[in-house]
Structure 1
Amino acid sequence: MLGGDDVLPFEVDVEDDVLTDLRRRLKHTRWPDQIPGSGWERGTDGGYLRTLIDYWHDDFDWRAQERTQNAWPQFVTTLDGARVHFFHVRSPHPQARPLMLTHGWPSTPLEFLGVIGPLTDPTAYGGRAEDACHVVAPSMPGFGWSLPTAESGWHAGRIASAWLELMRRLGYERFVSHGTDWGSVVSTEMARQAPERVAGLHLTLLISGLRPADGVLTPEEEVQQQANDALRGTELGYVMLQSTKPQTLAHALADSPVGQAAWIVEKLRGWTDCDGDLESVLSKDEILTSVTTFWVTGTGGSSGRLYYEGRVAAVDSVPRPGRIEVPTAVALFPKELYPTSRRIASEHYDIVRWTPMARGGHFGAWEQPDLLVTDLRAFLRGL
């Protein structure tokens, strides 16, 4: 039984009847119609999705994916009343420094499996011992094996407080934090709440909507802002739904694995640097391991609630303090959402490293693990 400050070992082990029910539902999917000749412009393309679902039903080996996950040490604990699952992989190198990796939506710490080895044991991957890290990669409350949250109020600020407690519970008083998507927001909140404990921030996505203090954009920033506004015009439907009426969507996601897959796959394709071919950067197994994790844990709806909690917290909170003074590195993957300029970012963060990456999108660690590891190592050496 989990309680208090207990930290208990954990392994993924889904019951057979859950997987049997999943296959039954996949077999008896009720498919929608689709306008002839249309593709992804209206949402998830039915042709691609049917191919993916056929693979899910006929060929996907969930037990193999369990073994891959369970090869890394995992734990569960209770933080501020919520169950939290996390990977905690200690380096064999004694001088290793603690590094927290926080994912976003629609993702889990599975996004980081490709970087855990090189970060914790760099000499086994052609790196140097002095680059070693102890890695902590939690599942956000309401995501994956953290299971659904049981109360309201789990916004980024509360998650940041929980993460600070988690790192203290694991014996790490001072650490570096890497974040992507909502993980960037949570990492920023940790730096805001406890700058003495966060030695550095490494981010791939800055908080959306940053503006210069004088309100004046350069011509280059104007072009960037126009592109961001155009993207928001076609991309923010999921934000509006999950930040206002997430429970309506939750009913559909809890009942239909194909609906869950469609909701996630459209974002994976749209947000990765894949030129329209999702499987050029993520395999079917990687895609379906993520989707299956949301399905078997019943967290399709609870993960989306983060947007609702973030909106309510923003409305109810006092104005945020100013510039983040923790040393901050930004890895600029070319297909990342809503980029800003270094000039604007520097008014809000202590930017010490700004690295345009050769390729990659919103899921940098998943898409381009080698590039992310290289940039993290360079940032850590400079701290």
Structure 2
Amino acid sequence: MKNITPFKIEVDQTVLNDLQNRLQHTRWPDEPEGADWNYGTNPTYLKELVTYWQKDYDWRKHESELNTLPHFKAEIDGINIHFIHVKGKGQNPKPLLLTHGWPDSFYRFYKVIPLLTDPESAGGNSEQSFDLIIPSLPGFGFSDRVALNTDQVAVLWAKLMKILGYDQYYAAGGDIGAIVTKSLANQQPDRVIAIHLTDVGYPNGQEDWANMSAAEQEFGQFIQQWWYTEGAYNMIQSTKPQTLGYGLNDSPAGLAAWIIEKFNSWSDTHGNIENSFTKDELLTNIMIYWVSQTINTSIRTYLENARAGWSGEPSPSAEYVKTPSAVSIFPAEAPVPIEWAKRMVNVKRFNKMEKGGHFAALEVPDTWVNELRSFFYSL
């Protein structure tokens, strides 16, 4: 197919040898007494994870497992986009575009691929399957190291789906992926049939407070407090990402600390990050950043989005989405009220889940899949 080439993940052994050397020579900072996760990443857990990374984690095993999936690259507007394309079983699978966020990767969706493409294998209905298209955002993983704003990414996604021959399709995402999905729906209203989101955007202080419901006002106060306590990463990544990039691209322990802090804070861990993710899952996601050297371009995406917002130009990602939408809110996420969701998208299904968090497809894959399948196959 034009512009499409098969791709295989093949990390040179010198990269892995260098990683081992850097891990072995980590220069650890001091830590306050009883630090836990109260000052950032838990020093005790990070040292445990780095030791496991050195002695027990097997990248070649995970590389081989990832390569059992059909990987491709497509050159679109001069940018090489990595994506996974898995055809669904059954008579008429629906095409579904899945977009990840930060600080995760296409790996966010590895558990849901068999559930969505071959539901019968998991005890589901064989006639409710999907063709999955799972790209890596520009500047992430094995896509080119180019940072784009979410509206620009949506343009690339529309072209990718056209190249693949899908005239109409469904789309889903969370975090940056949710913003891209909203933008895509607004830019391609005749092609995007319906969307599923795990967040819809947040109040920014510019709203007409008097016309917001009590639940929305409470939500706005929650978000304001959240930015004060958890939003420092966003501020630096939206203003001076290059300064941060030097350390994260040079130190694997530093990269791990920056990423797993978010996996801990944003997930339904109940006090133990491994209630939600295994060490191997955490490290495989980190490795995708490390071996591709994309942490710097991934965080620079925040500045590109900020600049797009400062420009004053209309943004499809910020506009109300008329496309039929499902919104699933997981308990470790921001507590979005339905009134706010309805301000942002054309809500046809809204559920608050009992378990899970920001990386729901990785953390609670069965629940997340059920939400998508129930909505998309009800239309």
* TM-score (norm: length of structure 1): 0.95
Cα drift, residue 82 of structure 1: 1.4
Q: Deviations over 1:322-379 (max 9, x none)?
A: 4211000001111113x33212221331100001111000001000000011111110
Change (3 A) 1:80 1:215: farther
2:163 to 158, 169, 180: 169
Partner residue of 2:375? 379
Alignment of 1:41 with 2:35, yes or no, is: no
1:136 to 133, 149, 172: 133
Partner residue of 2:102? 105
2:257 to 254, 262, 266: 262
Partner residue of 1:127? 124
Cα drift, residue 91 of structure 1: 1.1
Note if contact 1:213-1:347 (Cα within 8 Å) is conserved in structure 2.
Answer: no
Partner residue of 1:31? 28
Alignment of 1:361 with 2:357, yes or no, is: yes
Q: Deviations over 1:105-135 (max 9, x none)?
A: 0010101011010101111111112211000
Cα drift, residue 303 of structure 1: 0.4
Partner residue of 1:370? 366
- The whole-number CA distance in structure 1 between the counterparts of 2:340 and 2:174 is 19
Cα drift, residue 216 of structure 1: 2.5
Change (3 A) 1:380 1:212: farther
Percent of pairs with identical residues: 40
Greater CA deviation, 49-58 or 65-74?
Answer: 65-74
Cα drift, residue 165 of structure 1: 0.4
Alignment-mate amino acid for residue 327 of structure 2: V
1:283 to 272, 278, 285: 278
Unaligned runs of 5+ in 1: none
- The whole-number CA distance in structure 2 between the counterparts of 1:320 and 1:302 is 22
Q: Deviations over 1:219-254 (max 9, x none)?
A: 333333222221111111111101101111111111
SS of equivalent residue, structure 1 residue 101: strand
Cα drift, residue 94 of structure 1: 3.3
SS of equivalent residue, structure 2 residue 127: helix
Partner residue of 1:89? 86
Structure 1 residue ranges, 4+ long, deviating more than 6 angstroms after superposition: 210-214
Note if contact 2:200-2:344 (Cα within 8 Å) is conserved in structure 1.
Answer: no
Map of 1:1-383 to 2, 5 A cutoff? 5-149=2-146, 154-209=148-203, 215-320=210-315, 322-337=319-334, 339-383=335-379
SS of equivalent residue, structure 1 residue 88: strand
- The whole-number CA distance in structure 2 between the counterparts of 1:212 and 1:117 is 42
Change (3 A) 1:84 1:320: closer
- The whole-number CA distance in structure 2 between the counterparts of 1:155 and 1:305 is 9
Unaligned runs of 5+ in 2: none
Alignment-mate amino acid for residue 202 of structure 2: S
- The whole-number CA distance in structure 2 between the counterparts of 1:324 and 1:305 is 26
Note if contact 2:158-2:184 (Cα within 8 Å) is conserved in structure 1.
Answer: yes
Note if contact 1:73-1:88 (Cα within 8 Å) is conserved in structure 2.
Answer: yes
Q: In the comparison of the two structures, how many residue pairs are matched?
A: 376
Cα drift, residue 65 of structure 1: 0.5
